[in-house]
Amino acid sequence: MQKISQKLRISLVLGASSLVLSACVNTSKLDWDLRAGDGNTSGAARQATAAVPTPDANGILSYPDYQLVKARRGDTVAAMAGRLGLNPEELARTNALRPTDPLREGELLLLPRRVSAAPQPAVIGGSGAGGPVDITAIATTALDEAGPGAAPVASKPVGAQPLTHRVARGETAFTIARAYNVSAKALADWNQLGSDMAVREGQTLIIPVATAPAPDPEPVPTSPGAGSPTPEPPSASKPLPEEKTEPAAAKPKATPPSPDLGDQATGASAAKFAMPVSGKVIRPYNKQSYQGIDIAAAAGTSVKAAEAGTVTVISADTNGKGIIILRHANDLLTVYVGVSDVSVAKGAKVKRGQEMGKVAPGDPAFLHFEVRNTRKESFDPMTYLQ
**pLDDT tens sequence across 196-252:** 889 999 999 999 988 766 555 444 455 555 555 666 665 555 666 666 666 666 555
Q: So what's the pLDDT on residue 322? A: 85
Using DSSP's 3-state secondary structure scheme, residue 302 falls into strand
Q: So what's the pLDDT on residue 277? A: 94
Q: So what's the pLDDT on residue 331? A: 87
Break the chain into its structural domains and give their ranges: 43-214, 270-385
User: The domain at 43-214 falls in which architecture?
Assistant: Roll (3.10)
Q: So what's the pLDDT on residue 359? A: 93
Q: From CA 20, how far away is CA 9, in angstroms rounded?
A: 17
Cβ pair 280, 308 in contact under 8 A:
no
Using DSSP's 3-state secondary structure scheme, residue 211 falls into strand
How far, in whole angstroms, is CA 200 from its chain's centroid? 18
- From the options 2.60.120.10, 3.65.10.10, 2.40.10.230, 2.70.70.10, give the CATH code of 270-385: 2.70.70.10
Side-chain-side CA neighbours of residue 338 (13 Å) = 31
Q: Taking Cα atoms as reference points, which of 206, 91, 62, 139 lies closest to residue 372? A: 139
Side-chain-side CA neighbours of residue 197 (13 Å) = 20
Q: So what's the pLDDT on residue 325? A: 93
Q: So what's the pLDDT on residue 49? A: 78
For the chain, residues with pLDDT lower than 70 are 1-47, 117-159, 212-271, 317-320, 386
Q: Are strands 281-283 and 67-70 parallel, antiparallel or unpaired?
A: unpaired
Using DSSP's 3-state secondary structure scheme, residue 384 falls into helix
Q: So what's the pLDDT on residue 226? A: 56
Q: So what's the pLDDT on residue 315? A: 85
The pTM is what?
A: 0.40
